[in-house]
Structure 1
Amino acid sequence: MAQITADNHRLRLVVRYTVLALIALIFVFPLVFMIMSSFKPDQQLLQDTKSFAAFLPVGDISLDNYFDAFRRAPVGLFVLNSVIVTGVTVALSLLVCSLAGFAFVFIDWRGRELVLTAILATLIVPFETIAIPLLLIASKLPWIGPEGLTLGWLNSYQVQIIPFVADGLTIFLFVQYFKDLPGELIEAARVEGASWGQVYRRVVMPLAGPVLATAAILKFLAMYNQYLWPLMVVQEETYRPVMVGLQYFFQLNRAWGEIMAYLSLITVPVLAFYLFLQRAFIASIASTGVKG
């Protein structure tokens, strides 16, 4: 009987991991196709799409598409711009939105429910409806930089960062997570004489690893994939991000191999960030030990 039970358990594990492996392959196939295609000339790339050879390193394999991509556009500059804009925005967003979530959940002040409702209402407002007014405001705002006081934020990093530091979704994530934390921890810290700043730094944020990782991943993807807003506010090549840089490869002669090489290069920061956050997410769950 024990042997039959063990065999059934082993069979269930085999079936489970087989299904998970098949699901993983479905998500991996587009990445494999993109990477394999980036090493092939256009004619072979299009020919291989008719068979499974599209996923294999067969035929005329070379790095020519990567060299041609760097000759066609400043790929490194575009990736650097996106990493700077995305990294700074994610860091500021986690700070500002976590402070807002902390204030909404733990600090009793008049009108907080009304303010939170107004913030959550912004989730149903499409960005396209506020893009033009936001553009007009950004073109008139002052800024103090290395050149001194200037008017207008166009063609800069701050115009791509500051409008997206705070958003309703990220604040909502922190509010919902903080509500599930044990209230006894906060009360005990306050009884011991801790200020609200100390409660935020030493009690709440050390327990917020899961929501920090979740919010960071969502914000990273949203910012790294920005296209419409940078296209509107950045006309100089110096500040263009990767998604706007993609249009370089659809001008004049379209080269699919170069496009695949460019997509492969700009995907590297996304994968690196995701893997880093995944490890941090798992570590935070293992170390927290707090359940709502």
Structure 2
Amino acid sequence: MSITTKKVLGNFAFYFGNTVIAIIFVSPLVWMISASLKPEAGIFRGMNELTTFLPTDASLQNYIAVFTRIDMMKYILNSLFYVFVIVALDLVVNSVAGYALAKFDFKGKNFLLTVVISLMVLPIEAIMLPLYKQVADYGWVNEWASLIIPFIAKCFSIYMFRQFFMDTPDELLEAASLDGCGPMKTFLRIVVPISGTVYATVFILDFVAHWNDFMWPLLVVTGEEKRTVQLAIQTFFASPPIHYGPIMAALTISAIPMLILFLALQKYYVEGIASTGIKG
């Protein structure tokens, strides 16, 4: 077998395998969108056939039902507000922390980095109850502060920024220092403009994590005024009658911002993951 033939077969196997994996991952999303356009009686019909992915008798009645039964737009705006505030503060606070760990030498730096890496493996479920008690003691229950403040500083974001900034040439920073730039001015004018990939990566990861968050908002949001989109979707399961058409429509609506965000920033996301050396 010639080298050219091996190369062609290798490329075919690579793209075929990736195509199969993509179909496996995308098919639930396609089915959800299709189900959201079907009448209730047709959602689970023919589940063992490929036609289940086709929106037969398509209509927008399920989407109309979503906005009729609950104030869906209000809950979407609530989620967008608190998620974007968290993400914005995350990018500011954690990028500065990551830059300090990457480029500054100070006492206790290695210990602090060890703590950051160690805390990355601590799941939120392990600290959720003591965190809730702390929030309740501050009187933040059912306040925006309870949704935002506990999640501004993130060890994973700090580590990602640190890994990216480690590759920033020291010569570039030294040149800025010789031109009279202080540490913060150098960071804002030199480092930030060339770090778009890592900022986009952290932005996407943070947005998806908090947009999909359900458990923490369920604990701290006690009224409808600050209800998030994920809590709103849960009302379709808790309030009879339970119809799966509106549920699929609500899930589709909640997935749209994430799809738009990822499609718009996927190039930077891939580059950011590659440049920080983090694999997931």
Establish whether TM, by shorter chain, passes 0.5: yes
Deviations 1:115-135 (A, max 9, x none): 222222222222123222222
Shift of 1:234: 0.3
Provide the residue aligned with 1:39 in structure 2: 37
Provide the residue aligned with 2:250 in structure 1: 262
Q: Indicate the SS of the match to 1:132.
A: helix
Shift of 1:266: 0.5
How do 1:43-122 residues align onto structure 2 when only pairs under 5 Å count? Answer: 43-58=41-56, 60-122=57-119
Query: Would the aligned equivalents of 1:209 and 1:281 in 2 still touch at CA under 8 Å?
Result: no
Q: Indicate the SS of the match to 2:225.
A: helix
Match among 260, 272, 278 for residue 266 of structure 2: 278
Match among 118, 127, 131 for residue 134 of structure 1: 131
Q: Aligned residue pairs: how many?
A: 272
Cα RMSD, aligned residues only: 2.4
Which stretch of structure 1 is more off in the superposition, 267-276 or 64-73? Answer: 64-73
Query: Would the aligned equivalents of 1:139 and 1:153 in 2 still touch at CA under 8 Å?
Result: yes
Alpha-carbon distance in structure 1 between the residues aligned to 2:44 and 2:220: 36
Deviations 1:65-121 (A, max 9, x none): 111122222211221111111111111101110000111122222212222222222
Q: Where does structure 1 lack aligned partners over 5 or more consecutive residues?
A: 142-151
How do 1:184-263 residues align onto structure 2 when only pairs under 5 Å count? Answer: 184-251=171-238, 252-263=240-251
In the alignment, residue 27 of structure 2 is paired with which amino acid?
A: F
Name the TM-score, length of structure 2 as normaliser.
0.88
Query: Would the aligned equivalents of 2:94 and 2:158 in 1 still touch at CA under 8 Å?
Result: yes
Query: Would the aligned equivalents of 2:198 and 2:268 in 1 still touch at CA under 8 Å?
Result: no
Q: Indicate the SS of the match to 1:46.
A: coil
Q: Where does structure 2 lack aligned partners over 5 or more consecutive residues?
A: 276-280
